[in-house]
Chain A
């Protein structure tokens, strides 16, 4: 999703592999969580700082709960169908089965209006919700970060024009813009990812531009310039890595927001088109028969959305607190 990667060891300024760390809890971690030495040059990490960030993060119980919830849902949606076989493709066979069936031993959460098993449907729809959430947050973050870093680094009238464009797009209510784009360009999963990313890259662009403005006058940036480092190198290897804290926190919140946006689209009827589905579309389908008392068609999908969104918010909050530790030591 982001440059955050805990499995590959970081390379230090000299290109040497850094030694893995052992946290007080006994876990072996490498300090490659994107932290950087404030006075250092290129994206490197100082052991103590990385450990400190991890420690602050793990001390936040809500964040650990959030992490468990997300891991659970990823396993549930992507590994679940392997273990829990349901028919999610043959609607004719499904139609012959019970429709709107109440939960029983065969269908743990009953069946929907077409006759699809609800547990399998939650896995199937959850795949789309999670993929759209992660992918659009990733695209939005990458585009926004590059845009913001370039605007802030180049400065002058180019920066002014680039930021006015962001102002203009930010003033359009998100859902109206989303609906306009989806109506014009027809629905598909890829289009929905692109469109949600299109309305979401503006905030990171602003954040990163702000950071860039303060970073580009730092001594180490001037040092690189004196040594003949190119502009691309300065932005890519020095400015963006040093803004990584802001970026990671934004990306985390954005996954939650993207999932909510997809749910809203699904509710309006512009979500993942049939035969696919997503949690929002499922919820809105279920609500159609709300008056009939088919609770299993509403609450499970709603609960999935709420749990995942809250979990990402917990993690985002904890990351922000953890990275503030780094800021305090700057």
Chain B
């Protein structure tokens, strides 16, 4: 297991380094260079030269990359010329809120999707199964912002159940002090995840039911419930950890949309606002940070998988 974890951590570090390189190169690929993006269309050549000199942009590319990484180690993500603030300051206020939203929604999605998948297997090939499959198709095909707006339309305008405004407090504990403002964003973000998780849960358990160990269990006279929950479910549950890890980038994308719909001040809204202001350093900085957290989340999911699966936990470190 230690060998598995070691390889997995090295892999995560390599991926993060690659992402850093890509984000760095994206900044270099701006037409006209970073100076053009920062100084605007009415820049003079002298201003551009001065800007490049001050910010070290006249150095060779590898030197610049080294300085970029050096800056990252000191939590320096660049400077947002549009908002006159360091990108790291902008991000540090919003990151906890996105992490809260993503974390809560993923847990809610799991709590709902796993029983739904089991229900579909228990009632397989019945009306309930088909209805739930149709429902998951619908939620998968529905753009998340449409779902969000429909929720706002019905629950806020028509019934006035939840506040339209986002949570005002800027700390991660807002969810405990102002939970009502979280309800609709969490529903929106978890709905799509529920659709894919429950589809996975269903097919994973159906698959487990065709395995030899299930036939053996039945042959030994195990009850239907014991086969379902003791054998099929336990084997189908572990891979869902991997699925969470793999879904994290998609959930982060969903969070971006959800935050924009509900005006929820997280990383996604920051990125969208920055994009509409042509604030490229902020867009790149938040892309980098959200990706690092996604990679870390996937790593965590794999570590949990290694702990949960006896085949890896007890296996030799080959």
- CB-CB < 8 A to B275: which residues of A? 179-180, 182-183, 268, 270
How many angstroms between the C-alpha atoms of A179 and B283 in the bound complex? 8
Of A165, A171, A260, A269, which is within 8 A of B294 by CB?
A: A171
* CB <8 Å contact, A171 and B253: no
With CB as the reference atom, state the residue of chain B lying closest to A168. B18
Q: Name A176-202 residues within 8 Å CB distance of B.
A: 176-177, 179-185
State which of A177, A256, A269, A302 has its C-beta within 8 Å of the C-beta of B146: A302
Kindly name the residue among A165, A173, A268 whose own CB sees the greatest number of chain B CB atoms within 10 A: A173
Contacts of B294 in A (CB 8 A): 171-173
0 or 1 for each of A307-326: is its CB under 8 Å from B? (1 = yes): 00110010000000000000
Tell which of A167, A264, A268, A270 touches B15, judged by Cβ atoms closer than 8 Å: A167
| Interface pair B249/A170, CB less than 8 Å apart | yes
A250 lies within 8 A of chain B by Cβ: no
State in angstroms the CA–CA spacing of A221 and B278 once bound together: 51
Say yes or no: A173-B137 contact (C-beta < 8 A), given A168-B18, A305-B143.
no
In the complex where A171-B19, A176-B291, A183-B275 touch, is A284 in contact with B145 (Cβ < 8 A)?
yes
Q: A179-B275, A268-B275 are in contact. Are A256 and B141 (CB under 8 A)?
A: yes
The answer, yes or no, to whether B183 is at the interface (CB within 8 Å) is no
Contact of B153 among A176, A267, A290 (CB under 8 A): A290
Q: Which residues of A contact B18 (CB under 8 A)?
A: 164-165, 167-168
Assess the A313–B252 pair: CB atoms within 8 A: no
Chain B interface residue number, banded: 35 or more
Instruction: Say how far A283's CB is from chain B's closest CB, in angstroms.
Output: 6
Binding site for A on B (CB under 8 A): 11, 14-15, 18-19, 22-23, 26, 29-31, 137-138, 140-146, 149, 152-153, 157, 249-250, 252-253, 256-257, 260, 268, 271-272, 274-276, 278, 280, 283-284, 286-287, 290-291, 294-295, 298
Q: Out of A173, A181, A184, A260, name the residue touching B252 (CB < 8 Å).
A: A173
> Which residue of A171, A179, A267, A298 contacts B291 across the interface (Cβ within 8 Å)?
A171
Question: Are A173 and B253 CB-contacts (below 8 A) given A180-B284, A267-B145, A284-B145?
Answer: yes
Give the residue of A181, A284, A313 whose beta carbon is less than 8 angstroms from that of B137: A313
Smallest CB separation, B61 vs chain A (Å): 17
Q: Are A179 and B271 in contact (CB under 8 A)?
A: yes
Contact between B138 and A310 (Cβ–Cβ < 8 Å)?
yes
How far is it, in angstroms, between the C-alpha of A309 and the C-alpha of B140 when the chains are bound?
9
Please, which residue of chain B has its CB at the minimum distance from the CB of A261?
Answer: B253
Closest to B157 in A: A291
Per-position 1/0 for A89-126, Cβ under 8 A of B: 00000000000000000000000000000000000000
A-B contact pairs, 28 of them (CB 8 A): A167-B11, A167-B18, A168-B18, A168-B19, A170-B249, A171-B294, A172-B291, A172-B294, A173-B250, A174-B249, A174-B250, A175-B257, A176-B287, A177-B287, A179-B271, A179-B272, A179-B275, A180-B280, A180-B283, A184-B26, A184-B280, A260-B141, A260-B143, A267-B145, A268-B275, A305-B142, A306-B146, A309-B141
In addition to A173-B249, A260-B143, A267-B260, 6 A-B residue pairs with Cβ atoms within 8 Å of each other are A164-B15, A168-B15, A172-B249, A176-B252, A283-B145, A298-B149
Binary B-proximity of A152-176 (CB < 8 A = 1, otherwise 0): 0000000000001101111111111
Given contact pairs A267-B143, A283-B143, A310-B141, A173 touches B15 in the complex (Cβ within 8 A): no
Q: Are the C-beta atoms of B271 and A290 separated by less than 8 Å?
A: no
Q: Are A176 and B271 in contact (CB under 8 A)?
A: yes
Q: Is A287 an interface residue (CB 8 A)?
A: yes
B142 to A, closest residue via Cβ: A306
Contacts of A309 on B, CB cut-off 8 Å? 140-141
When chains A and B are docked, how far (Å) is the Cα of A201 from the Cα of B71? 32
Q: Are A267 and B26 in contact (CB under 8 A)?
A: no
**Chain A residue with minimal CB distance to B164?**
A291
Residues of B within 8 A of A268 (CB): 257, 260, 272, 275-276
Contact A172 B276 (CB under 8 A): no
A280 interfacial by beta-carbon distance below 8 Å: yes
Inter-subunit contact A263/B143 (CB<8 Å): yes
Min CB–CB distance A298 → chain B (angstroms): 7
Q: Which residues of A contact B283 (CB under 8 A)?
A: 176, 179-180, 183
Q: How far is the CA of A171 from the CA of B249 in the complex (A)?
A: 6
